[in-house]
Amino acid sequence: MEELQEYKIFYNKDGWVCERYPYDLAVDNKKRFLILDKDAFYKTLEAELHFAWRVVDGELLHERYEPTPDDEALQILRDKREDICFSIINRGVLWYESLAPQQRQELKQWYNDWLAVTKTKTEPLNPRWLFNLEGSDGTNKN
């Protein structure tokens, strides 16, 4: 039978896990720790950008420790615009001719909203019919 190992992580008075990204905090109190299994322990060795591991009420959480910088948030919106919007807008004449006048108007507004996304910082909702044409359920995939 395999012996079950326990893994200890230490955290500071604010709950941030020590010796981990992004703070790499030193252990200041050896009595403040959480016992984890191997998988959970190794999971804490990585964190998404602007996130860190924190212990809150005895529970290990992956929390945002700082907001996404504006330039990074804008780039995310630009990338989404390219992936979502431009692949639709750059279709041929035959596709556009298959649209009803109301659909063309909605598409034009949607496109203009995507062009303004770096100013509004609000991702436009997809016209419901647009992805029904694609065989989707019409939900916003943004």
- Which of 81, 44, 79, 47 shows the shortest CA–CA distance to 66? 47
Residue 2 resides in a domain: no
Banded model confidence at residue 17, pLDDT cuts 50, 70, 90? very high
Would residue 140 count as lying in a domain? no
pLDDT tops 80 at residue 2:
no
Tens-place pLDDT, residues 73-86: 999 999 999 999 99
Among 17, 37, 64, identify where a domain stops.
Answer: 64
- Does the pLDDT at position 12 exceed 50? yes
If one counts every other C-beta atom within 10 angstroms of the C-beta of residue 53, the result is 25
Q: What's the mean pLDDT in 99-124?
A: 96
Instruction: Report whether pLDDT(25) > 60.
Output: yes
- Tell me which residue range forms the domain holding 101: 70-132
Q: How confident is the model at residue 133 (pLDDT cuts 50, 70, 90)?
A: low
Q: What percent of the chain has pLDDT over 90?
A: 78
Is residue 112 domain-shared with residue 127, that is, in the same domain?
yes
For the entire predicted model, the pTM comes to: 0.60
Query: Of 43, 64, 85, at which residue does a domain stop?
Result: 64
Residues 57, 88, single domain; the answer is no
First to last CA, the chain: 48
**Same domain membership, residue 59 and residue 44:** yes
Q: What is the pLDDT of residue 1?
A: 52
Residues 14 and 45 in one domain: yes
Instruction: Say whether both 50 and 87 belong to one domain.
Output: no
Q: How many domains does the chain have?
A: 2
Residues 43 and 74 grouped into a single domain? no
- In the chain the beta strands, taken as DSSP E runs, fall at 7-10, 33-36, 51-56, 59-64
108 and 82 in a single domain? The answer is yes
